[in-house]
Chain A
Amino acid sequence: MDIIVNHLGLYADGLLVTIKICVYGLIGSLILGTLVAIARVSPVPALRVAGTIWVQTLRNCPVTVVLFFFAFGLPEIGINVPYFWFGVSGLIVYTSSFVCEAVRSGIGAVQPGQSEAARAIGLPFAPMLRYIVIPQAFRYCIPPLANALLAMIKDSAIVGAFGVGGDLFSVSDNLTSAQGFPALPVLIGVVLGYLILIVPSGLLFGVLERRTAMAS
């Protein structure tokens, strides 16, 4: 256990990088996922088809392959950024498909009377979604959304395994392979780090779910 205490700084830095990846991933995938969900319920067939292809492709592809593809594919179409951003954007794009499905199921759960009433008072499609349907849909989609975002936190470890460098997962590689410490205590530290991140996030989503629950 001394190893964990002695390298607490390293672990804390790793945790911070992981949190950074997750916060960018959270913001990015929520925005992108909601946009794709709107495309999938829009009256424009081309948008619906594009959204469906987007979701089916990403949902059925392992996040590892998506990340590999971003790291090796994007430079080939002239996009060169530090590896960190390949990792983050791969994570965002992958998670967006799950966020989209969560938001879409939320939109489906809003009573038809709501959108009918919105149309009856003359709201066009976009303001109807913006002011009436999506605010209510977000309550219904908090449980699946929480699942998608918790999965994203765990997937951030895969981003680290690719060698983003400095995140919680790569701390273990640094300490065991490079500095030759025994694996067990080092990895217990890493596991604790992820639990510190994931368990409170899960509880937070639970609270959010109860707070926003509709009286039924």
Chain B
Amino acid sequence: MSVTSVLYDRPGPIGRRRIRIASAVVTLVLVGCACYVLVQLAHRGQLSMQLWGPIVDPRNQQFAAFWNFFGGGLMSTLTSAGISIVLAVILGVFLALARMSAGRFSRPVIIAFIELMRGIPIVVTIFVLSQVLPEFHLGIPVIWYLVIGITAYHAVAIAEIVRAGIHAVPRGQTEAALAIGLSPGRSMRLIVLPQAIRLMLPALIAQLVRVLKDTSLGFIVSYGELLSRGQIAAQNLNNPFQVYFVVGVIFIAINLVLTLIANRSEAALNRTTRTRGGAGTNPSALDAAPQTHDPNPIVHV
């Protein structure tokens, strides 16, 4: 099986030589850039063990203290992300159902709410909550500023995913549920939603990646998550470059795993819907939801 793309023909001998040369040139240039960066870093003493030691060297006396502190930050990040995604899914399902079942008068209200929440940057919401609530003596633990801010924003995105998911469940399911005498509410809750959630799973996991990323905004309210603890550690150890590098690596590692799970669950979904003869299910309708996962559009046959 030859590896060709729809965009170009399978290269001949001359084309293959050109591609090899281009590949070599690109690799050289990139390696050159990397070398330049490393030389510059070394030149400024940024690669010294004095700065990296507390992070990577278990024999360093600050190693244990750093990772204790930093690991606590990781727990806070995961906790706030977990609470946020659960609340956002609950609110999102509610919003989607409200929007779909709303009458002529309540629909504009819900749409206005959705557009409003979508239009305000999360960082502003978090900042507003942390400034305004204490003014009215409604101070709550710092984590909730972060969680409420993230939930309010992502619930709207999840509502869109849920709406697409519900639309992707074949109409016959609702009709059959109504035909056996279930009320519209129960047919939604018992028949349609469970199937819709299965269809939405990949998109929901992809949304979780965004939620996790947004928890880093906790540094605005100094909620001790990964980034703000990193900030404090970097001030004490005087190695901001190294600490932020590690923060980035941790986020990327966790999110890559989540992305992998999302892709796996989507593959599993495609497999099961195919073996069941499709049954009119149309998971691709979920692609209509905004910012779904990587559609991986270029097909290499």
Q: Is the CB–CB distance between A187 and B256 below 8 Å?
A: no
Q: From residue 98 to 157 of chain A, which have CB atoms closer than 8 A to chain B? A: 101, 104-105, 107-109, 112, 115-116, 119, 125, 128-129, 133, 143-144, 147, 153-157
A184 and B298 form a contact (CB under 8 A): no
In the complex, per-residue mask of A34-68: 1 if CB is within 8 Å of any chain B CB, else 0: 00000011011111001000001101111111101
Complex alpha-carbon distance, A101 and B19, angstroms: 24
Contacting pair A144 B123 (CB below 8 A): no
User: A43 with B11: in contact, given A60-B252, A61-B252, A195-B116 (CB under 8 Å)?
Assistant: yes
B213–A161 touching, CB < 8 Å: no
Q: Are A115 and B297 in contact (CB under 8 A)?
A: no
- Residue pair A62, B214 in contact (C-beta under 8 Å): yes
* Interface residues in A, total, Cβ within 8 A: 63
Q: Once the chains are docked, how many angstroms separate the CA of A54 from the CA of B8? A: 23
Interface centre among B121, B123, B247, B255 (most CB of A within 10 A): B121
Partner of B121, one of A45, A116, A157, A202: A157
Contacts of A154 in B (CB 8 A): 120-123
**Interface 9-residue window, one of B87-95, B102-110, B127-135, B270-278:** B127-135
Residues of A within 8 A of B215 (CB): 62
A contact patch SS: helix
Closest B residue by C-beta to A78: B40
Q: Are B290 and A64 closer than 8 Å at their CB atoms? A: no
Which residues in B have their C-beta under 8 angstroms from that of A40?
Answer: 298
**A183 near B131 (CB under 8 angstroms)?**
yes
- Nearest chain A residue, comparing its CB with the CB of B214: A62
Q: Which residues 117-146 of B have a CB within 8 angstroms of A?
A: 118-124, 127-128, 131-132, 135
Selecting from B67-75, B161-169, B238-246, the interface stretch reads: B238-246
Known: A44-B26, A184-B132, A187-B128. A68 touches B295 (CB 8 A): no
A36 to chain B, nearest CB (A): 13
Q: Please tell me if the beta carbons of A41 and B291 are within 8 angstroms of each other in the complex.
A: no
Are B7 and A133 touching (Cβ within 8 A)?
yes
Interface string of A69-103 (1 = CB under 8 A from B): 10011001110000000000000000000000100
- Provide the residues of chain A in CB contact with B22, threshold 8 Å: 44, 46-47
Give the residue name and chain of the A residue nearest to B245 (CB).
Answer: A69
Cβ of B220 within 8 Å of any chain A Cβ, yes or no, is: yes
Write out the residue numbers on chain B whose beta carbons fall within 8 Å of the beta carbon of A182: 135
Q: In the bound complex, what is the Cα–Cα distance between A195 and B112 (angstroms)?
A: 12
**Which residue in A43, A60, A194 is a CB contact (below 8 Å) of B256?**
A60
* 22 contacts across the A-B interface (CB closer than 8 A): A43-B7, A45-B23, A47-B26, A50-B30, A60-B259, A61-B213, A62-B216, A64-B219, A65-B244, A69-B245, A69-B248, A77-B41, A107-B7, A108-B299, A112-B6, A153-B121, A184-B135, A187-B124, A187-B128, A194-B120, A194-B124, A199-B119
16 new A-B contacts, CB < 8 A, other than A47-B26, A61-B213, are: A59-B255, A60-B213, A63-B213, A64-B219, A65-B247, A73-B245, A112-B6, A125-B7, A128-B7, A133-B7, A154-B123, A183-B135, A191-B128, A194-B124, A198-B118, A198-B119
Show the binding face of B for A, using Cβ within 8 Å: 5-9, 11, 15, 19, 22-24, 26-27, 30, 36-37, 40-41, 44, 46, 115-116, 118-124, 127-128, 131-132, 135, 209, 213-217, 219-220, 227, 234, 240-241, 244-245, 247-248, 251-252, 255-256, 259, 290-291, 294-295, 297-299
